Amino acid sequence: METAQTPSAPDVVVVGAGAAGIAAAHRLQALGCSVLVVEASDRIGGRAFTESNTFGFPFDHGCAWLQGPGDLPYIAAARSAGFTLIDHSDPPGALFSGDRPATPCEVAKYDQAGESLRQLLVSSQYDVAASSLVKFSDRWLAAAATWLSAMDHGVDLIELSSADVAVYGTYAVNALVKEGLGTLVAHVAKGLPVWTGTVVTGIDWSGPGVIVRTQKGDIRADAAVVTVSTGVISSGRIKFTPGLPVGVRQAFDDLPMGLLTKIALQTDGARFGLLENAFVTRAIDEPLPARSAFFLSFPIGFDLCVGFVGGSHAWEIEKAGEEAAIAFAIDELASMLGSDVRRHIRKGRMTNWGSNPWTRGAYAAARPGRHAARAVLSSPLGDRVFFAGEALGGAYPALLSGAHMSGEAAARQAAAILARNRRS
């Protein structure tokens, strides 16, 4: 599908129409380069994907929170196009100890555990596995660690790099989008020349420019910006000619994909005493990694409880399939709210980023000790292949904002090098 006037011989081919590819394409155009975006799947947005068919209202399979610096263009784009942003910078919480609400004292313990865990990781001098820094004697600390490692980073604590936690920038914005964040991303991409349904199978950078090989034919250009996930690159699905230098290949392998799986449960309107937009968490009494789901209750007022499962447990859940995942999420909700919950669930849906061949996981997580791999990928190959994507998200790794910023940075780098080469 062509979504705008397609240049027959673009200056730059952008591989992937997610947030990074969209940002790169816009920036390249603004800098005077012609561009063509090629996208394997049949839609624009990548891991930003909203659909309304399942529940009759927008459900974000991928990113849902718009988080990042205040100058993120998505904020202005949302406002000018009339999207509804719901501030979530100070979310309500519902904490449970087994099947009863936590006491104020337990809530204070949980809040303190979360804060001290983060401080511990941020102040670590070395890039080590988070599990090596924390002694787990406390069920509230285990709950806070489950949000931080399995949900936020998509990996178990033993696979979480302390440096990955330490780099995070602050959020000037932290908001849910009523119409769906995926809808907003697709809106921002409007007007860009994108070929959807076009799988890139190879990138030949042996000559002065690049030949991007697709199942629909070759595209010649001066440069390529490659925004596919680290999981896609590591799978070898895109053949580089010549092959990736050893250090670059290693860097991709050092940034494997973590997994966050959402299991969304539609309710019949019952609210179980929970507030809208609240994080629902239980104490963890089993050893980590816990086989638990935590929830966001009734986001934006929709009749939905969105369960989150991350890390090794998410890979297991996805493999077990949607029916088993929904049964598990209902059990988890019932363990906190009581069995009566069961009769109020109308429908469920599980996301499947782990088995999606175009992502192969939710977001990259540096192997402990290998956080520096992120910086390795910010250097181009032969001044003509530039990498971007959430794994290169700087102070906002794994996030939409980081993906966007990495796309812009790669575009600036590419445009500067192309201009220099043309002058010489």
Ligand X SMILES: Cc1cc2nc3c(=O)[nH]c(=O)nc-3n(C[C@H](O)[C@H](O)[C@H](O)COP(=O)(O)OP(=O)(O)OC[C@H]3O[C@@H](n4cnc5c(N)ncnc54)[C@H](O)[C@@H]3O)c2cc1C
- The Cβ of residue 97 has, within 10 Å, a number of other Cβ atoms equal to 17
d(CA 419, CA 424): 9
Rule CB under 6 A: say whether 252 interacts with ligand X: no
Rule CB under 6 A: say whether 20 interacts with ligand X: yes
d(CA 93, CA 34): 48
Q: Are 111 and 138 in contact (CB under 8 A)?
A: no
Question: Contact letters (x/-) for ligand X, 172-211, by CB under 6 A?
Answer: ---------------------------xx-----------
Rule CB under 6 A: say whether 381 interacts with ligand X: no
Task: At 18, give phi and psi (nearest 5°).
Answer: -90, -165
Helices 181-188 and 73-80, packing angle to 10 deg: 90
The nearer residue to ligand X, 237 or 249, going by C-beta atoms, is 237
Q: Are 343 and 336 in contact (CB under 8 A)?
A: no
Q: Which of residues 262-281 bind ligand X (CB under 6 A)?
A: 262
d(CA 234, CA 253): 6
Rule CB under 6 A: say whether 234 interacts with ligand X: no
- The Cβ of residue 397 has, within 10 Å, a number of other Cβ atoms equal to 25
Q: Which of residues 26-55 bind ligand X (CB under 6 A)?
A: 38-41, 46-48
Which residue, chain included where needed, has tokens 């925004």?
Answer: 227
Question: Contact letters (x/-) for ligand X, 310-349, by CB under 6 A?
Answer: ----------------------------------------
Look up residue 95 and give its two tokens. Answer: 């904490």
CA–CA distances in Å: residue 255 to residues 126, 198, 372: 17, 25, 10
Rule CB under 6 A: say whether 21 interacts with ligand X: yes
Rule CB under 6 A: say whether 78 interacts with ligand X: no
> Which of 63, 155, 248, 304 contacts ligand X by CB under 6 A?
63
| Min dist. Cβ of residue 309 to ligand X (A) | 10
Size of the site for ligand X (CB under 6 A): 42
Which residues contact ligand X by CB under 6 A? 15-21, 38-41, 46-48, 62-65, 67, 199-200, 227-229, 232, 237-238, 260, 262, 351, 353, 358-359, 362-363, 389-390, 398-401, 403
